[in-house]
Structure 1
């Protein structure tokens, strides 16, 4: 049976998107990653919860592969709160995220509860350990498909299809993760494991959500340390090289970058190497910029594909908005009583 040209035009964006997803094979079960990893640090490791601020809330939006029909869009809300008593040891966090590929009818909604425990090992060295439990719901629908019986002989749209479409039933799953962050004022090391139970997403025998292991770290080189009002106001200027490695299923991601902080502005550049069995090796460069205005932090990044496929798909845009609070008076009291922790040195725009 031949299909009207208008059907082919209508279905092509959906088919293109579906073809790209099928080419990625197990990529159905890959977690989304952010170029602004430190603005979205709770998504990488639950041990970051409550580590930088007394409390904070971050709204993130990522539009990946904008040249692909429908693109892949992620919205995430992350919130963290360090409990003041007893002893500033405990912190609670919440992650809510939604992934969507418009023309494919794919959506994934998740909600994750996080807990972190902070402790000092020495006067200058501290450790945070975290754990999380999350719920997810994933579905793929045929909402954007049109069929031959929806068009008349002259190609005009005739109405709803008589096809019986069951689609993929929604899949509900639970996932768990743990992590730790060892840090001092000028350096940190983060190790985390996500999807420890490797939940089945139900699309095929290879559609589980694989275990994700991530190791990252960095060093802050102070070019000018901030000074309090007793010595006159002096803004921080620092240079922060970072590196990370992630393995999930058969895919590997390595990343190296550097940030320059001249308070209140942060700029950075990252090189990312992505390797997967189906898509080979892809190279991406991300440019990052952020600014602090009072309690508000705004960040923007753009991914530039260096390899051919990454370039054809169009990279990614990412925006983050963070409201954060740090009680300076309480911090002075903690310092006086020697109860304060080292300041986490990661870029925190």
Structure 2
């Protein structure tokens, strides 16, 4: 069983490094991030979930103001379940998370979805009894999200009467037609990560270093033609 999981993660990472560079861009993607990234492991790096012996239930919330009456609001709930075998050895871990990201006054833009995460651990030099055991974790992640614009809170210059916006008036924007604009879009998402940790004899990590790639498939998440770049994180 362990060999099958190893082959699965090895093939997954192989595909990433073969096809991933074909679409990487040197610009930044705008993924939801939390200040305490170590408390949002699934969102930070899928490999990090393989570093703990405990079952974890995490609740995260972010509210970041960007303008008068407008802010980012991001609630997220996650479950992490480690697979532990013989003598406290962490073979792998599995995670499930749900998140909603709301942006703009009145929830103008919202993104809702979930992620399935898996991480497989490789013990360097076998499961030794030395003080600090190096472990390499390989993580893969897949999910589906729905992004939606709330047309009820959109305004345009055509609704301005000199003092205020009149919602009863039409937007008067030709590009907001059904042929050019779709108020809702669903898309799959694939991420990957790798992490190296040094654990004590009890299995608790004392230090770690990780790297992740998100938006590997670069889905079209915009309501007009636009492809998001890959996002990289180093922790």
| TM-score under structure 1 length normalisation | 0.47
1:51-200 aligned at under 5 Å gives the runs 51-65=51-65, 67-85=67-85, 88-103=90-105, 105-122=108-125, 123=128, 124-145=133-154, 160-161=168-169, 166=177, 168-185=182-199, 186-200=206-220
Secondary structure (helix, strand or coil) at the match of 1:49 reads helix
Secondary structure (helix, strand or coil) at the match of 2:152 reads coil
The CA deviation string for residues 269-299 of structure 1, in whole angstroms up to 9 with x for no partner, is xxxxxxxxxxxxxxxxxxxxxxxxxxxxxxx
Q: Return closer, same or farther for 1:129/1:143 CA change in 2, 3 Å cut-off.
A: same
State the distance in 1 between where 2:222 and 2:66 align.
27
Secondary structure (helix, strand or coil) at the match of 2:229 reads coil
State the distance in 2 between where 1:65 and 1:168 align.
27
Q: Count the aligned residue pairs.
A: 187
Q: Among 164, 187, 210, which residue is 2:229 paired with?
A: 210
State the distance in 1 between where 2:147 and 2:164 align.
34
> Where in structure 2 are there 5+ consecutive unaligned residues?
1-26, 200-205
The CA deviation string for residues 168-214 of structure 1, in whole angstroms up to 9 with x for no partner, is 43111111111111111332110111111111113334x32211122
Q: Report how far residue 131 of structure 1 moved.
A: 0.3
Secondary structure (helix, strand or coil) at the match of 1:33 reads coil
Q: Return closer, same or farther for 1:66/1:157 CA change in 2, 3 Å cut-off.
A: closer
Q: Report how far residue 134 of structure 1 moved.
A: 1.2
Q: Return closer, same or farther for 1:161/1:180 CA change in 2, 3 Å cut-off.
A: same
1:269-348 aligned at under 5 Å gives the runs none
User: Which residue does 1:328 correspond to in 2?
Assistant: none
Is this contact kept in 1: 2:212–2:234, CA < 8 A?
Answer: yes
Secondary structure (helix, strand or coil) at the match of 2:36 reads coil
C-alpha root-mean-square deviation of aligned residues, in Å? 3.0
Larger relative contact order, structure 1 or 2 (CA cutoff 8 Å, min sep 6): 2
Is this contact kept in 1: 2:146–2:184, CA < 8 A?
Answer: yes
Q: Which has the larger radius of gyration?
A: 1
| TM-score under structure 2 length normalisation | 0.68
The CA deviation string for residues 50-73 of structure 1, in whole angstroms up to 9 with x for no partner, is 422421011111111254432111
Is this contact kept in 2: 1:98–1:109, CA < 8 A?
Answer: yes
Is this contact kept in 2: 1:120–1:126, CA < 8 A?
Answer: yes
State the distance in 2 between where 1:159 and 1:101 align.
20
Q: Return closer, same or farther for 1:71/1:125 CA change in 2, 3 Å cut-off.
A: same
